[in-house]
């Protein structure tokens, strides 16, 4: 297995593979590899000759310093998991000063309305940080394919926008959300939940399904009130938002008469840990 932490070495390797007409996939991660990442990597293996997995906890996308400090860091374990999938997968795990040689900062992007709602509204400049690091990675790898999970649906729309503007030769592959046995969308942050909070977290997906099933039966404000009451009644749980939006534009949907391309989004804070999920309700 190749493990690199220098951009110049990665570029040299990529250049060699491109000259030999090899298809290259990139799976960007912040480490703490879980079943969701594994699914992305396995899909990448099917699609290409060379698979790179980047492991980098990107400081510029955290608006909360404590969230950054508490984010799980399990590099050695991550390497072992990836190695068990295939010894041919290559890992890029740079230090902060390798990716931000002039100090940590984010570039300002114009993504229009899609960054002014939900996570963009509640986490100022989060998506500028995401777009900054993704642009850096795409500049390094020039991948033929890149893989992201549908759990971070709003982020996927951002990546799609970046590719359309700057990396037209890269194809974005969006993969289904992988879930825990209780329905909770798998996330690195799940490791921060204590046992009781993890058990109770099944309510998040249950409420998404309820919202989907109730959309043509109840008014949206009635659905929101029910979901809010259910989630906020669980110890340590706080509903941040439940939103009904168009899956392409993220425009708010306010009635069942606008049921085209409906996507439902939820964010819940569990003892301060931010968990997001979504469901396609078309």
Six-digit token pair at 220? 């949206």
Whether 222 and 199 map to the same domain: the answer is: yes
Query: Of 175, 204, 234, which marks where a domain is finished?
Result: 175
Which class for 141: exposed (0-12), middle (13-18), buried (19 or more C-beta within 10 A)? buried
- Residue 278: the pLDDT is 98
Whether 204 and 76 map to the same domain: the answer is: no
What residues make up the domain containing 72? Answer: 2-175
| pTM of the shown model | 0.95
Whether 170 and 208 map to the same domain: the answer is: no
Whether 198 and 140 map to the same domain: the answer is: no
CB 245 within 8 A of CB 120: no
Whether 150 and 255 map to the same domain: the answer is: no
Listed residue (65, 63, 56) closest to 27, CA to CA:
56
Domain contains 78: yes
Whole-angstrom Cα distance, residue 60 to residue 58?
A: 6
Total number of domains in the chain: 2
Domain contains 183: no
Whether 121 and 207 map to the same domain: the answer is: no
CB 138 within 8 A of CB 170: yes
Q: What is the mean pLDDT of residues 112-137?
A: 96
Residues involved in catalysis: 37
Q: Which sign, positive or negative, has the C-alpha torsion 271, 276, 277, 278?
A: positive
Tens-place pLDDT, residues 198-215 = 999 999 999 999 999 999
Q: What is the mean pLDDT of residues 191-199?
A: 97
Query: What CATH number is given to the structural domain containing 111?
Result: 3.40.50.620
Tens-place pLDDT, residues 239-264 = 999 999 999 999 999 887 766 789 99
**CA-atom Rg of the chain in angstroms:** 19
CB 146 within 8 A of CB 25: yes
Whether 110 and 239 map to the same domain: the answer is: no
Whether 100 and 155 map to the same domain: the answer is: yes
Whether 143 and 37 map to the same domain: the answer is: yes
Query: What CATH number is given to the structural domain containing 237?
Result: 3.30.1300.10
- Residue 140: the pLDDT is 98
Query: Of 143, 175, 207, which marks where a domain is finished?
Result: 175
CB 23 within 8 A of CB 144: yes
Residue showing tokens 């100090």: 103
Q: Which residues of 54-64 are buried (b: 16+ CB within 10 A; e: fewer)?
A: bbbbbbbbbee
Domain contains 250: yes
Six-digit token pair at 32? 């703490």
Query: Of 119, 144, 175, which marks where a domain is finished?
Result: 175
């Amino acid at each position: 297995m190749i493990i690199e932490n220098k951009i110049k070495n990665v570029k040299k390797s990529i250049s060699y593979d491109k000259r030999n007409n090899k298809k290259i996939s990139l799976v960007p991660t912040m480490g703490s590899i879980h079943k969701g990442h594994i699914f992305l990597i396995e899909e990448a293996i099917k699609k290409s000759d060379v698979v790179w997995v980047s492991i980098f906890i990107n400081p510029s996308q955290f608006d909360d310093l404590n969230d950054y400090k508490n984010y799980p860091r399990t590099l050695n374990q991550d390497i072992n998991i990836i190695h068990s999938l295939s010894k041919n997968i290559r890992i890029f795990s740079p230090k902060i000063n390798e990716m931000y040689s002039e100090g940590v900062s984010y570039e300002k992007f114009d993504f229009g309305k899609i960054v002014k709602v939900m996570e963009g509204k509640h986490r100022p400049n989060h998506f500028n940080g995401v777009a900054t690091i993704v642009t850096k990675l795409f500049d390094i790898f020039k991948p033929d394919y890149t893989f992201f999970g549908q759990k971070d649906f709003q982020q996927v729309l951002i990546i799609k926008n970046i590719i359309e503007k700057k990396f037209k030769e890269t194809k974005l592959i969006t993969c289904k959300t992988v879930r825990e046995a209780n329905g909770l969308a798998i996330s690195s942050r799940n490791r921060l939940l204590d046992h009781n909070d993890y058990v109770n977290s099944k309510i998040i997906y249950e409420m998404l399904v309820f919202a989907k099933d109730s959309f043509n039966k109840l008014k949206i404000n009635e659905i929101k009130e029910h979901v809010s009451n259910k989630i906020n009644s669980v110890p340590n749980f706080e509903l941040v938002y439940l939103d009904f939006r168009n899956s392409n534009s993220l425009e708010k949907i306010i009635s069942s008469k606008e049921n085209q391309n409906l996507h439902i989004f939820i964010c819940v804070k569990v003892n301060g840990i931010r968990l997001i999920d979504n469901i396609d309700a078309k």
